[in-house]
């Protein structure tokens, strides 16, 4: 029999389809990927082509060679731009619109065309996460910024066209409905219990153990109870921090290690799957709330989303998080 | 400059990326599809293979030949099954689960393997919609059914593996979060205004005109103001009916015509694109509410969903609904 589970952070229901369930190794990618060179002359993100990607907003450079290790710049085709007004205009009272005011940046993670985060040293991933935080901090004070979404698309099924490893940052003048929903649920839980839902969740998962992938001093990596999709993975800090901008450098360093290990387990275990990840963080101005916890969600793109999911918002997941977490634990990465 | 628009029915924001916007004809599919036969001996939905799909729950048959025109049966790999309890069990107070109790059926739309709805006569589409309603009515009284979702996946990008034209029906023991959200928004609007949000929306769109695709006596077809994806299409009845189960046979007949015309415009205009559609209807027990309106949403699968959408729930739409609606209006179908 299938089981219906509720995501405690959004109250969304998920059908865990045990009858149709696949074993974790059924999700291993069988097609081989095209071999990528470490440098591609036509790639706008490769060294030497910096003029194709301006204006630059950040770079971390080697003291000696002055070559960059990480680089950020405004997206050439930005979804949002800093000009305009956040005033809402209403067409007939209920059709609200506002200018597409905001910031859309790209963060190139390495000068090496074919080196994904999973195959870097910790130091490289630390650079990337520090760049996230530096750009987050730089954009946060802008008056029109109400929410900052940092995300990554890896592979064609995850919506990327450029293979050179990169992340994106979008600063929006509105708080997305999904983030509001997470906050409403966490606040209601806080009002009822006096506790942070996410911290209680992490404690519960650690006590149960079966959905844990990795635990370190400062972080817990798990496959959530109501995973929407196979191998969905959350990285939760143990600290109580609503916003990523409050993470200390020590936390960032440990997060880099934990993220690399987690991505490497996916890389080895599932043969370099396509995936997205996204950093959920408190809306601007709510950084010090007690009830929310920033976290990172990794969503491998192993299955297609069909009409039932689009229509109802209820996902049918054909993998058991308890089994996929066990599979991930078994993948050696050291 | 881009524009940010709010879907009035869910309060979700959508970025209409004018800078990156494509023209409607840029979405025409260029790859050709494999030519399908009108009968495939190995297809479980083709006539002669009925024993592969049991138990049958409905069939409409020709009086003379006794051959079926439309046929429904329980899905061979059901996401939900009628056994079990709807009682919630809580693991440590906040991890809720219940048995996967419900019904999952398949509705085969035609005995002809290669005849999609778009290429049928009206009579064939009427059969399909009457079958939807008959199964809806049959399952509604079951004590564990709280919501019924009818949907269709057309083409591989839309999540189908079997090419033979078919729809699916899932009766769930929970009300999906997305449907609750639609209802909360519509109820709040009703409390504020005394009006049905959807009816006001349809009236507004008819008065503006630029996003209308087709209008008939009983239905309005439009590309919504805050379309999440290119060519998203809604079919709204003009009647005030919260549930599809209350639609009259006259309405069903006209809906069949309108749906066929709309799908044929997509078929001709975009070269048979992959798409999903879903029938949004009131939760069981709320069929007579004044504030909701059942409707049909068609979502062509022309673009990939990436990390930003997954993370924030905010879609970046690279087409202008005003332009795509105009394009659809220009496609001849009679």
- At B294-329, the pLDDT tens digits run 999 999 999 999 999 999 999 999 999 999 999 999
B143 touches chain A (CB under 8 A): no
- How much is the average pLDDT of B215-243? 97
* Torsion sign over Cα A302, A306, A308, A310: positive
* Contact between A159 and B16 using a beta-carbon 8 Å cutoff: no
Question: What is the average per-residue pLDDT within A29-51?
Answer: 94
Token pair of A334 as six digits: 């050291």
How far is Cα A136 from Cα A169, in angstroms, rounded to an integer? 8
Whether the per-residue pLDDT at B19 is higher than 90: the answer is no
Q: What is the pLDDT of residue B331?
A: 97
Tens of pLDDT, residues A281-322: 999 999 999 999 999 999 999 999 999 999 999 999 999 999
Q: How large is the average pLDDT for residues B224-247?
A: 97
Q: What pLDDT does A161 receive?
A: 83
Q: Which residue of B has its CA nearest to A300?
A: B307
Catalytic site residue from A154, A166, A183, A295: A166
* Distance in angstroms (rounded) separating the CA atoms of residues A183 and A185: 5
CA quadruple B188, B193, B196, B202: dihedral, nearest 10:
-120
C-beta separation of B70 from B127 below 8 A: yes
Contact A79/B280, CB-based, under 8 Å?
no
- Tell me what the mean pLDDT of segment B14-31 comes to: 88
pLDDT (0 to 100) of residue B297: 98
Residue of A319, A242, A249 whose CA lies nearest to A286: A242
A176 touches chain B (CB under 8 A): yes
CA–CA distance, A275 with B43 (Å, rounded to integer) = 33
Out of A192-206, B16-30, B196-210, B227-241, pick the least confident.
B16-30
Q: In chain A, which residue's Cα lies nearest the Cα of B232?
A: A310
- Determine contact, residues A226/A13, Cβ cutoff 8 Å: yes
Does the beta carbon of B83 lie under 8 angstroms from any beta carbon of chain A? yes
Active site residue A166: yes
Are B210 and B320 contacting, i.e. CB atoms less than 8 angstroms apart?
no
Cα B314 to the center of its chain, rounded Å: 21
> Confidence class of residue B157 from pLDDT cuts 50, 70 and 90?
very high
Question: B60 CB near a chain A CB, below 8 Å?
Answer: no
Please spell the DSSP secondary structure of A133-168, one letter per residue. Answer: HHHHHHHTTSTT--EEEEEEEESGGGT----S-EEE
Instruction: Note whether A25 contacts B: Cβ–Cβ < 8 A.
Output: no
Nearest to A290, CA basis, from A177, A193, A181: A193
- Across residues A272-286, what is the average pLDDT? 97
For residue B115 the two structure tokens come to 């005849």
Q: Residue A34: which pLDDT band, with cuts at 50, 70 and 90?
A: confident
Given this model, what pLDDT does residue B304 score?
A: 92
Q: What is the mean pLDDT of residues A8-29?
A: 90
Q: Does A319 touch chain B (CB under 8 A)?
A: no
B77 touches chain A (CB under 8 A): yes
In this complex, the residue of B19, B94, B159 whose CB is nearest that of residue A8 is B94
How far is A151 from A167, CA to CA, in rounded Å?
6
**Domains of chain B: residue spans and CATH:** 3-330 (3.30.428.10)
Strand partners, B72: B58, B107
Nearest to A109 by CA among A76, A74, A71: A71
- Residue B94: the pLDDT is 78
A48-69: average pLDDT: 95
Q: pTM of the prediction?
A: 0.96
Nearest CA in chain B to A87: B4
pLDDT of residue A236: 98
**ipTM confidence:** 0.94
Query: For residue B92, which residues of chain A lie inside 8 Å, CB to CB?
Result: 204
Quote the minimal CA–CA distance from A96 to chain B in Å: 5
**Which residues, 6 or more positions from A23, have their beta carbon under 8 angstroms from its beta carbon?**
A323
Cβ atoms within 10 A of the Cβ of A88, count? 12
Locate the chain A residue with the closest alpha carbon to B104.
A308
Per DSSP, what are the bridge partners of residue B153?
A: B276
Nearest CA in chain B to A185: B94
Bridge partner list, B89: B97
Decide if A270 contacts A157 (C-beta within 8 A): no
Residues A128-173 have pLDDT tens digits of: 999 999 999 999 999 999 999 999 999 999 999 899 999 999 999 9
Give the per-residue pLDDT at A12: 95
Taking contacts as CB-CB distances below 8 angstroms, the residues of chain B near A158 are 304, 306-307
Instruction: Say how far apart CA A277 and CA A282 lie, in whole Å.
Output: 17
Asked if the model's pLDDT at residue A21 lies above 80, the reply is no
pLDDT mean over B137-147: 97
Alpha-carbon Rg for chain A in angstroms: 20
Q: What is the pLDDT of residue A313?
A: 94
- Selected for mutation to probe chain B from A1, A2, A3, A4 (highest B CB count within 10 Å) is A4
Q: Assess A81–B contact: CB distance below 8 Å, yes or no.
A: yes
**Which residue is listed with tokens 């985060």?**
A117
Residue A246 has pLDDT above 90, yes or no: yes
Q: Which residues of A touch B17 (CB under 8 A)?
A: 77, 79, 100
B307 → chain A, closest CA residue = A276
- Judged by a CB distance cut-off of 8 A, whether residue B2 touches chain A is yes
Nearest C-alpha of chain A: how many angstroms from B61? 28
Partner residue facing B158 (CB), from A20, A159, A307: A307
Mean pLDDT estimate for chain A:
95
Taking the C-alpha atoms of residue B120 and residue B125, their distance in angstroms, rounded to an integer, is: 7
Nearest to A312 among B94, B149, B173 (CB): B149
pLDDT at position A22 is 86
Contacts of A3 in chain B (CB under 8 A): 97-100
Asked if the C-beta of A322 comes within 8 angstroms of chain B's C-beta atoms, the answer is no
Verify whether the Cβ–Cβ distance B308 to A4 is below 8 Å: no
Out of B13, B83, B92, whose CB is closest to A176? Answer: B13
Interface contact A201-B94, CB threshold 8 A: yes
- % of chain A with per-residue pLDDT over 70: 100
pLDDT in tens, A73-118: 999 999 999 999 999 998 777 799 999 999 999 999 999 999 999 9
Token output for A77: 């085709």
Q: How confident is the model at residue A39 (pLDDT cuts 50, 70, 90)?
A: very high
Residue B143 has pLDDT above 80, yes or no: yes
């Amino acid at each position: 029999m299938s089981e219906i589970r509720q995501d405690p952070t959004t109250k969304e229901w998920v059908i865990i389809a045990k009858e149709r369930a696949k074993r974790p190794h059924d999700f291993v990618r069988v097609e081989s990927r095209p071999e990528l060179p470490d440098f591609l002359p036509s790639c706008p993100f490769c060294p030497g082509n910096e003029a194709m990607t301006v204006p630059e907003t950040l770079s971390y450079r080697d003291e000696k060679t002055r070559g960059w290790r990480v680089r950020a710049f405004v997206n050439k085709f930005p979804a949002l731009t800093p000009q305009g007004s956040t005033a809402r205009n209403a067409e007939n009272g209920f059709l609200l619109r506002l200018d597409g005011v905001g910031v859309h940046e790209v963060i190139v993670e390495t000068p090496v065309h074919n080196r994904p985060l999973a195959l870097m040293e910790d130091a490289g991933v630390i650079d990337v996460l520090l760049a996230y935080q530096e750009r987050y901090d730089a954009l946060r004070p802008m008056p029109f910024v109400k929410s900052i979404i940092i995300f990554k698309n890896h592979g064609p099924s995850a919506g990327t066209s450029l293979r050179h490893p990169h992340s994106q940052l979008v600063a929006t003048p509105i708080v997305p409905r999904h983030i509001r929903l997470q906050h409403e649920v966490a606040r209601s839980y806080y009002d009822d219990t006096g506790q942070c839902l996410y911290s209680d969740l992490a404690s519960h998962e650690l006590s149960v153990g079966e959905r844990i992938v990795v635990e370190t001093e400062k972080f817990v990596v798990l496959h959530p109870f109501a995973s929407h999709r196979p191998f969905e993975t959350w990285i939760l800090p143990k600290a109580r921090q609503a916003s990523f901008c409050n993470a200390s450098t020590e936390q960032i360093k440990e997060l880099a290690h934990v993220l690399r290990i987690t991505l490497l387990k996916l890389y080895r275990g599932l043969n370099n799957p396509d995936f997205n990840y996204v950093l959920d963080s408190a809306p601007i101005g709510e950084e010090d709330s007690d009830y929310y916890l920033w976290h990172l969600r990794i969503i491998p793109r192993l299955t297609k989303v069909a009409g039932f999911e689009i229509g109802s918002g209820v996902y049918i997941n054909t993998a058991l998080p308890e089994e996929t977490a066990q599979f991930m634990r078994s993948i050696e990465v050291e």
